[in-house]
Structure 1
């Protein structure tokens, strides 16, 4: 608590003292001044001690001080001790009479009983102070042998000054009492708030300790402010054998923490809490904790506590860790199953397509039969694309063979492929690329990228809408952009758009079929070219997909995700891998 200035040793705790001690302390200033008066008279006028009135005055002062200390004021009626300042008026009057100069400087001693009474709770305290001062100076004057005009003037002036002092002290005392009452009320409210805050904090700890999700809260400086019990268990899993336990934030260098491939150690700067301390927001970061049979996989997500810009005073971020070992095992089992089924289906399907092609090339094929076979061929092609997507999401090898090529040609070929589907819905495909976009790419793979992007744009756009394809050079990077005015996605769906088997809520509600693998395959191809892909969308307003391919578009090993994919594209590629 702030203290405005230095205080006497007893002043700060005055109200915590016993009543007798407080009465003595209130009387001490007058007694101290009387000691000074005694000293002055001893040096300047020793004859004063021969005056019986002076000796009586000193004796009475000593008696009153002793009474202050000995009388059990707590047992007497309330405020009975306030008789002491009234007695002080009489003692001062006796002193003035002994001095023989009724209105000498000794009259200033009246200030002490005046102040004492003025801060009391007596209803007539100001009147009593004035009357006591008046009588204290009036009695010596009346007992004086000679009274002149000066005496009369001082007789009026002294009580009036004491009255002014009494009023001023009374006002100040009331103001201080009011402020003290306000402070007491504020302290009571603060106590209630602190108690409520403690109860909420206990509730918060009970809640966060009861959930099966690890939680770490960090401030804007990266210091951990909250950890729950589940996170401490995760830290135990991440501890190296024979080493001290890992810290709950999983940032210790000796922690056994691996990237989503389960092999590559995850450096501290790439771990979730460190990323959150840089005000990053993310979700779905997979990491493996520990080694051996106790090893688990967790998925981490981070969100800023406040949407305000990051400052030293901002509240920081919350990082959540959820165990996903069983989910990853289930996904792996599903991938294995789909891979096996796809391999089993691909061989006979390739044979079916080959024989359908041969039948379509027969010169004597009736027109109606040709139409039937064309439908069968188109649906078999679609089935082969689905199988290729399933295989693309399974473990394997992805080969990118780059060469100098023009991305503008890739766009034109993909637009020709998408033209029929777009025309059936009255969708206008507008190519705004009017110049070459040279790049080191795998033309077949990049064609697959554009086919997927245009196919999605056509599928998820309403009739009579527009799809625009743009391309330009940004320094050493080639940029392609596909923008539609279709159904769009909300922010939650955008964060998961590259998750395997994920389909946005707007896509599901539209009734349009899909596997949720097209963008997964697309992102993998772009990553293998060392590039990036970004999606910007608004629900009901359309989607914009931006692909950036650097000039040196060869395979960038440091840009590869931990799991490689086998990518298939249509019939020839499937036949080659069967």
Structure 2
């Protein structure tokens, strides 16, 4: 029977994913053959080197994990060898006493998935563009019909209202799909921004809508001490999507609170509501395209299932992260964080392509 150490070595040799282990300080202690091929170095030569010597993109994630004391795996993307995209998972290594003794990174080549996503995006974008013309024609025809009919009966008014509502929903879906594709493809005109001011403005934009539902809408947090490097219109869209979503699902007389703070080198925005909450099984999918949490709330509040996907795309385009925490019957909190920019980045203010 193969000894345990030999079996572990055989497993590491067999897997196609690249695996790198480090000590608590982030010095490389082990690389499997797939990692050796990926980073073009032998395990013996890399032993003792800082993790970011293998790839500069690994360093910030390890620093963040060490600083924040992360207990759960962190998943991020890494581009290696001009165009090859890898999904990287950084996890703490702990013993029976649960004390972290090191870190392990597992990298999987997902280049083919990115290419498939690009092809899908191109097809969706082409289809939605082609839908715009017939929708515009139908809108024009409906307006002409309404103006030429003279005084309408109640039944005719209801029919035209139904048609208008259907066209508006379809038009909104087309625009949301185009927005989702656009944020991932266009260059963003970046500038130094006070994200707290963006969040505060989003709250004011929804003041009348909140009052109409007798919902308490409040902003909590002062002026941001730091600045983020971002596109103001897209970040405003991200916040308004979250606030609008919270107002939609919060019952009359409830509360929606938008909070801003800075921590760990990030600007953080959270939107908390007193809505119905989200089942634990659905929380991992709420940022997926077209996904809607099943249940009575979804039936009462029609939507496209794209609003949160747009938030995720915008935030990730700004090198940030999104999350949700929720408990059924007690409301939900959606949040995102984007990195605070240093003086050099604010001075250079390049566009992300």
TM range, normalised to the smaller chain?
A: 0.5 to 0.7
**Alignment partner, residue 488 of structure 1:** 278
Given candidates 21, 36, 50, the residue that maps to 1:217 is: 21
Q: Tell me how far apart the structure 2 counterparts of residues 283 and 403 of structure 1 sit (CA, whole Å).
A: 27
Shift in CA distance, 348/282, structure 1 to aligned 2, threshold 3 Å? farther
Distance across 1 between alignment mates of 2:109 and 2:13: 15
Q: Secondary structure at the match of 2:215?
A: strand
Question: Per the alignment, in what secondary structure is the counterpart of residue 222 of structure 1?
Answer: coil
Asked if 2 retains the 8 angstrom alpha-carbon contact of 1:480 and 1:547, the reply is yes
C-alpha contact 1:302 1:319 (8 A) present in aligned 2: yes
Give the equivalent residue in structure 2 for 1:47: none
What runs of 5+ residues in structure 2 fail to find an aligned partner?
none
Q: CA deviation at 1:276?
A: 5.5
CA displacement at 1:344 relative to structure 2: 0.8
Alignment counterpart, residue 388 of structure 1, candidates 175, 186, 190: 175
C-alpha distance 406-250 of structure 1, shift in aligned 2 (>3 A): closer
Deviation at 1:468, TM superposition (A): 1.7
Separation in structure 2 between the aligned mates of residue 470 and residue 210 of structure 1, nearest angstrom: 49
Greater relative contact order (Cα < 8 A, sep 6+): 2
Distance 1:315 1:449 in 2: 38
Q: Is the Cα contact below 8 Å between 1:483 and 1:542 reproduced in 2?
A: yes
Gap change, CA 1:331 and 1:544, over 3 Å in 2: same
For residues 233 and 531 of structure 1, what CA distance do their matches in structure 2 show?
A: 28
> Are 2:206 and 1:414 equivalent residues in the alignment?
yes
Unaligned runs of 5+ in 1: 1-195, 258-265, 564-578
Identify the structure with the greater strand proportion. 2
Contact 1:478 1:551 (8 Å CA) reproduced: no
Structure-2 separation of matches of 1:551 and 1:275: 14
Answering whether residue 246 of structure 2 is matched by residue 457 of structure 1, we say: yes
The normalised TM-score by structure 1 is: 0.45
Preserved contact between residue 486 and residue 542 of structure 1 (Cα < 8 Å): yes
Q: Which residue does 2:110 correspond to in 1?
A: 324
| Offset, 1:218 | 1.9
State the Cα distance separating 1:510 from its structure 2 match. Answer: 6.8
Shift of 1:300: 0.1
1:306 maps onto 2:94 in alignment: yes
Give the structure with the larger helix fraction. Answer: 1
- Give the whole-Å Cα distance in 2 for the aligned partners of 1:491 and 1:561: 38
Partner of 2:3, secondary structure, is helix
Give distance in 1, aligned partners of 2:336 and 2:39.
39
> How many angstroms does 1:471 deviate by?
5.8
Q: Secondary structure at the match of 1:469?
A: strand
- Alpha-carbon contact 1:467-1:483 (below 8 Å) kept: yes
CA RMSD of aligned residues (A): 5.2
1:150-169 equivalence runs, <5 A: none
Q: Rg bigger for which structure?
A: 1
Contact 2:260 2:270 in 1 (8 A): yes
Task: Please tell me whether the aligned partners of residues 299 and 323 of structure 1 are also in contact (alpha carbons under 8 angstroms).
Answer: yes
Residues 431 and 389 of structure 1: is their aligned pair in 2 closer, same or farther, counting only changes over 3 Å? Answer: same
Partner of residue 287 from structure 1, selected from 69, 75, 78: 78
Distance apart, 1:302 and its partner CA: 1.2
CA gap of 1:356–1:300, structure 2 versus 1, over 3 A, is same
> 1:218–1:277: 8 Å Cα contact kept in structure 2?
no
